[in-house]
A and B are shown apart, each in its own frame.
Chain A
Amino acid sequence: MAIDVDVFKRVPVREQDASERAHNFEEVCYGYNAEEAMAEASRCIGCKNAPCMGGCPVSINIPGFIAKVKEGNFAEAFQIISESSALPAVCGRVCPQETQCEHRCIRGIKGEAVSIGKLERFVADWARENGIKPEPAKEKNGKKVAVIGSGPSGVTCAGDLAKMGYDVTIFEALHEPGGVLVYGIPEFRLPKEKVVKKEIENIKSLGVKIETNVVVGKSVTIDSLLEDEGFDAVFVGSGAGLPKFMGIPGENSNGVFSANEYLTRSNLMKAFDENSNTPIMHAKKVAVVGGGNVAMDAARTALRLGAETHIVYRRSEEELPARVEEVHHAKEEGIIFDLLTNPTEILADEKGWVCGIRCVKMELGEPDASGRRRPVVIPGSEFVMDVDAVIMSLGTSPNPLISSTTKGLDTNKWKCLVADEADGKTTKEGVYAGGDAVTGAATVILAMGAGKAAAKGIDEYIKSKN
């Protein structure tokens, strides 16, 4: 049966019911089927100047692939996406399209923008289910490049270089490749076995080698990769994995976790599964401090592990840095938002376990340098929330391990690597960098864009040496 299309409205996407999904780790969004995807694709007017492409950090030929979806030629749609993106099944799921490609969609002026993300996801899922892989390079050029970190920027850089004919090895510190895609983003937003593992396998099918359990700066240094192991260039995509804490009293009490620890236990170590060997605290009432996507992920994980879960955020809903879709999903599932609220102390019982969190209420004052209205404490508004666990989700910064063990690799005052935005060139010859290691915590797709730019920069550098 054909689907009726209202050109001003998106073809709705099927989702798992909120009351059901609040108790499991299955994927929330089911995605489009072929009919739905073709119907949604028919809403694209195929603009010649395609403003949507300017909103995509890796410049996918969006009208091009959508035209193929409209025809039902999904295999060709996949090859068009693959020219620009190494992780379409991931990006179609986790990109903030509403501020990127979809934000610039002409359809969005009078009605709802075309669901570019959901269409990308459909194409990538279809290709995976039908065993279609990206095309490897026809010829090898005999040059070796080392990529540090197997997150979105490293994988994109490695994939692009492999397609150009380079012999690429990725070095990953954890036991599983994928970076934030495996340890950070939960199963219910991004399935690990079904999606992430398969996209990593696609990278391997391009000839990229992945060596896990190598902590660059400890197990090996950048200098020895260049001098002793014969690599012609190095890309640093080590991310921003160092968690921030508030520095308030009681923060080392039992039951206070960084979002990184909580999510790593649940996602990478599968602690949500009761058969897992890695434990996780099953709290009764949790306060997640912060308002970003990571805070939403931590809160929705805690909820699924059985806790009454509160988001504690010092500004108002308008300022929440998380994606609107994630906030919406969190609310549907029953997460309670305590806005304009800021913790001042974590209270613990005599055995050292969290028993409460002292907070103050805030109001928004004058805008600060960043243009956001600064939260100001309301005098006399102090109160105590009874909780048995607190998850700190205040952001992360780059790990200083690589910069501190590599001579000539400069960082700025935020410990981020100094690198050229256009080609990823750092202050050390032959070393390129991109993603969160350079920008601080940002998005998956921006990291991919940086990995892509660096692959081009590395290619030009190696060619210039010969």
Chain B
Amino acid sequence: MVEKIISAGQRKEEDRVYSIVKTEQLTDTIYLMEVKAPRVAKNCLPGQFIIVRGSDDGERIPLTICDYNREEGTVTIVFQVVGAATEMMRNYKAGDAFADFVGPLGCHSELCDENIDDLKNKKILFVAGGVGTAPVYPQVKWLHENGVDADVIIGGRNKSLIILEDQMRTVAGNLYITTDDGSYGSKGVVTNEIQKLVDAGNKYDVCIAIGPMIMMKFVCKLTKELGIHTVVSLNPIMVDGTGMCGACRVTVGGEVKFACVDGPEFDGHLVDFDEAMKRQQIYKTAEGRAYLAAKEGDTHHGGCGNCGGDK
């Protein structure tokens, strides 16, 4: 069932400012923010994303929608501090506003198009890695609201990187936590947990894996062997997010796709992960340079061997 796209109607001038209603620090480097964005809130569905610009001179960065409140006109985003843009955003407080917040972008999860009775007969497994737990949450919540309880695995390097556990517990069927170092839940990576569940006799019709590219790659490798149809949500570099530049292009089943309009979700068994991972590195040096320059301020003089700041 697709929800009818509802119009935002006549809006007041102040609604145009993408003000932050609430912020919450989830881990050392992961933040949650609830943002006023009525047009996005009224028209989004799980699986879609937004593009945000922190300030007038900021970069456009894509973030997945973690939750939305149609009545309040708010959208929840979760981001991890990895570069200059997110480093700046972490300092924003309730009452501050983003310069730009555009969406919903991309296609919604294909689950939203399925017949609810068919969904109820399906065994669905979600695999969430790190900050990828945020985009998994609205899908599990949407299913739960439609009477479908999916199993969820949340994985992280260690206990402090496990986010949204309580929220997920209220909407998931069975919830499994894994940490690489065993500091919380089962010890090991998410693929160990999938194998365990299957060995214990669980049968899954579909697996949705969202997390770091390397995690999705290995989940797909395993689920292909296990014969479980797998959907992944890709996170390539994006600029506009509306299909006009192709920065986010990926190869899926031998064809070039633009993740921002054709995805971000794709059949994981058809994705060329090695290419996608290489493409994520394009601006690594440039991004690192900006991040270091901001962090170190006047004391920044390079030494990294890449940025030339010591010359």
Contacts and interface: CB of A to CB of B under 8 A. Distances in A.
A224 interface: yes
B5 A215 contact: no
A245 B283 contact: no
Interface in B267-283: 275, 278-279, 281-283
Contacts of B9: 228-229
Given A219-B39, A219-B102, A252-B256, A401 B245 contact: no
A277 B85 contact: yes
Interface string A192-216: 0000000000000000000111110
B243 interface: yes
Contacts of A281: 282-283, 286
A8 to B, nearest CB: 45
B180 interface: no
Nearest to A261: B245
A269 B61 CA distance: 12
B101 interface: yes
A186 to B, nearest CB: 16
B227 to A, nearest CB: 29
Most A-side CB within 10 Å, residue of B5, B6, B100, B261: B5
A215 B275 contact: no
Interface string B54-68: 000111100000000
Contacts of A220: 5, 7-8, 39, 43
What is the size category of the interface that chain A forms with chain B?
Answer: 35 or more
Interface in A217-272: 218-221, 224-225, 227-230, 241-243, 245, 247, 251-252, 254-255, 257-258, 260-261, 264-265, 269-270
B245 A352 contact: no
A243 B246 contact: yes
B245 A279 contact: no
A337 B221 CA distance: 46
B103 A215 contact: yes
A345 B101 CA distance: 38
Nearest to A225: B7
A174 interface: yes
A279 B287 contact: yes
Contact of B39 (A175, A214, A257, A278): A214
A399 B10 CA distance: 27
A276 interface: yes
B311 to A, nearest CB: 14
B47 interface: no
Contacts of B104: 218-219
A174 B240 contact: yes
Nearest to B99: A175
A173 interface: yes
Nearest to B244: A241
Given A219-B43, A220-B7, A252 B251 contact: yes
B291 to A, nearest CB: 10
A48 interface: no
Nearest to B251: A252
Most B-side CB within 10 Å, residue of A213, A214, A215, A280: A213
25 contacts: A174-B242, A175-B60, A175-B102, A212-B100, A213-B102, A214-B39, A214-B102, A215-B102, A218-B103, A218-B105, A219-B104, A220-B7, A221-B5, A221-B7, A229-B7, A241-B242, A243-B246, A245-B246, A245-B249, A254-B281, A260-B245, A264-B240, A277-B58, A281-B286, A401-B243
Interface of B: 5-10, 16, 39-40, 43, 53, 57-60, 84-85, 99-105, 239-240, 242-247, 249-251, 256, 261, 275, 278-279, 281-283, 286-287, 290
